[in-house]
Chain A
Amino acid sequence: MAGIIGYGAYIPRYRIKVEEIAKIWGADAPNYKRGLGLEEKSVPGPDQDTITMSVEAAKKALRRAGIDPREIGAVYVGSESHPYAVKPSGTVLAEAIGATPDVHSASFEFACKAGTEAMFVCLCQVESGRIKYGLAVGADTSQGAPGDALEYSTAAGAAAFIFGRDHVVAQVDETYSFMTDTPDFWRREYQHYPRHAGRFTGEPAYFKHIRGAAQGIMKKAGLQPKDFHYVVFHQPNGKFPLNVGRQLGFTREQIETGRLVPKLGNTYSGSSPMGLTAVLDVARPGDRILLVSYGSGAGSDAFIFTVTGRIDEVRDKAEHTRALLDGHKVYIDYGTYAKYRGKILKAE
């Protein structure tokens, strides 16, 4: 059966605290921290973007997969912050890891679920037998307008997965997608920052679609919440994944391992995929994992994985996601953050 044969994550070392952003805008930091369930978020350095982070994550995935990159038949990158509007991210990534030229590539975009879209298509390609291995990445340097509530959460990070039918560390048992036309969050061409419909992004958007996908896949597989060791939901803030988990009947323990957002922020296309990497870092053979992404617009992709015995051989071949999150951090002030994120520009 097809599944994940290697995985990896990447988080930039820069962090900014909620207090630092709140100070600039005169906002009530303790209330924001409590209300959003956030403490700090990652910030990409001035020379980092979705492509560079994808390369970092993909290299870790390759180390764990232990395959020759020339055997990779597809390179898919899901993001809403592709550095170019026209010019694929996957070409640079495939070149950087040595997967060219016998390779298919595509860029995916579906708000925060572009990463799981790339994973889904990659899995299908492998299952169909058209390619031997495929690489799927979810990565974002997400954008939040200055002073907007989003600015407290929009973060940077990447997760990469190599799919194949041998060397499997987490086989895919089931998939299911749930989608409607629900305009809760959008960014038009030439606009720098996304716009969102405030509280409309909650119940009719995030909660409805995650519930729909989670209930749909469990029904399809004949499973209950108690049948899973871990569950990873898209995590736009600290509270939403806990709330939707409670609504669905999952315990906090099942959610907590993959809930990176309080210290990471929302890495958009990287969000739930990065949570999955943190779960794989500690999962035991036989553990069953539910992954449910969410992308505004709106839809959710759900996957059920069962971890294999090979996990014990590969997990330490690259740095664990929690180590990246809690390891070497550099806290920056708002001015540095504004410069790194291109919110202020040096005069020519």
Chain B
Amino acid sequence: MRDVAVLGVGLNSKWGELWEMSLRDIFVEAALNALDDAGVDRVDSIVVGCMTSGLFVGQEHLGSLMSDYLGMNPVAATRVESACASGGAAFRQGFLEVASGAADIVLVGGVEKMTDVGGDEATYALSAASDMEYEAYHGITFPGLYALVARAHMHRFGTTREQLAHVAVKNHRHGARNPVAQYPYEITVEDVLASVMVADPLRVLDCSPITDGAAAAVLCPVETARKLSKKPVVKVLASAQASSTIALHSRKDLTWFESTAEAAQKAYRMAGKRPEDIDVAEVHDCFTIAEIVVLEALGLVERGKGGQAAASGMTALGGKIPVNTSGGLKSKGHPVGATGVAQVVEITRQLRGESGPRQVEGARVGLTQNMGGTGGSSVVHIFETV
């Protein structure tokens, strides 16, 4: 396989409730930003990550749509879906195309336009990431499923309600330094504990929001990147993906994401790295409890100690292993199909030293973890400046 580099990255200019923009508008803006950053105007292939544009705006066939509106016809363009891990899975497809030699320059994008529907319709669309017949039809929604994970973790490891809140507080503190973020302001533990109850013990400030947003990255062989780019070359050291039961109730252990642990093990092997080598990570904090369990499954935090990580400052900027410097899904926003690609955007900028007020000093090795549903699928990538 060829060594693969991230040549360029971009987001659309602001995430949030983009009433004046459509699905194609936000995708095209992010893609053009990534192409500008890469300094290329032609690609061999386009891969688009999107969870459920069909349910959110009634549009499928995103490959054709995005190639068309980017003026890239007749290149191959394909949509990839793996629920909330669609962006990570799309990035992995782009990686495989370049690594295999099937394409030299690949544009990977992720997009979701979520605010064109009301709350009930958005909840229904998102529930399609769970097991429809055995979970959603019986009335449980994602906050409910993650509340079960939170309860189990609290019961088994003594994780506290306040520790959950610290994850949101920390990610908002990071997001306050990210002008693209949907909610770029700080919150307190008291704010979280006083916010509206969604699914006990999770309150609204434990939950990532409904967001319109897009992200894009341009991939090419490392040798090409060395020739084309004056910026530090960010190499994709590892790309790994794993699956687990789609239904939470089929798991042996509610406090563990097997797919994340499995993808992480594969990724560390492929990269020749260990958890302690990671300088900065972007992980899937769709709910505060998710970040806690994910950090344990990635081996970045000792099993059962995830709750203490945010509260102790270990995962904050300036801590031992800064996590979600972008603000994470919680503060930056969670346009589901875009999230996995946006994680790559943040890590690439961190490794290039372009993250300004939220720069992790001396960051050389970064990790992204993107997860579908309650961990039915997970995608882990590891990057290094070379």
Contacts and interface: CB of A to CB of B under 8 A. Distances in A.
A35 B195 CA distance: 10
Interface stretch (A71-79, A94-102, A199-207, A299-307): A199-207
A222 interface: no
Q: Is the interface of B mostly helix, strand, loop or mixed?
A: loop
Cβ-closest 7 pairs across A and B:
A204-B19, A31-B196, A198-B118, A28-B196, A198-B119, A28-B197, A197-B118
B196 A35 contact: yes
B184 to A, nearest CB: 16
B115 A199 contact: yes
B201 to A, nearest CB: 14
Interface of B: 17, 19-20, 115, 118-119, 195-197
A338 to B, nearest CB: 22
A198 B120 CA distance: 10
Given A198-B118, A198-B119, A203 B196 contact: no
A200 B115 contact: yes
A246 B379 CA distance: 45
A200 B119 CA distance: 11
Contacts, number: 18
A27 to B, nearest CB: 9
Contacts of A200: 17, 19, 115
A35 B203 CA distance: 14
B116 to A, nearest CB: 9
Contacts of B197: 28, 31
A155 B299 CA distance: 56
Contact of B17 (A28, A31, A35, A203): A203
A266 to B, nearest CB: 19
Size bracket, chain A contacts? under 10
Residue of A28, A35, A204 with highest tally of chain B CB at under 10 A: A28
Contacts of A197: 118
A199 B119 CA distance: 9
Given A200-B19, A204-B20, 16 more contacts: A28-B196, A28-B197, A31-B195, A31-B196, A31-B197, A35-B196, A197-B118, A198-B118, A198-B119, A199-B17, A199-B115, A200-B17, A200-B115, A203-B17, A203-B19, A204-B19
Contacts of A199: 17, 115
A209 to B, nearest CB: 13
**Most chain A CB atoms below 10 A, which of B19, B20, B115, B119:** B19
Nearest to A149: B119
A204 B20 CA distance: 9
Interface string A201-225: 0011000000000000000000000
9 contacts: A28-B197, A31-B195, A31-B196, A31-B197, A35-B196, A200-B17, A200-B115, A203-B17, A204-B19
A319 B348 CA distance: 68
Contacts of B17: 199-200, 203
Contacts of A203: 17, 19
Nearest to B120: A198
A339 to B, nearest CB: 28
B213 to A, nearest CB: 16
Nearest to A31: B196
A31 B191 CA distance: 12
A199 B116 CA distance: 10
A198 B17 CA distance: 12
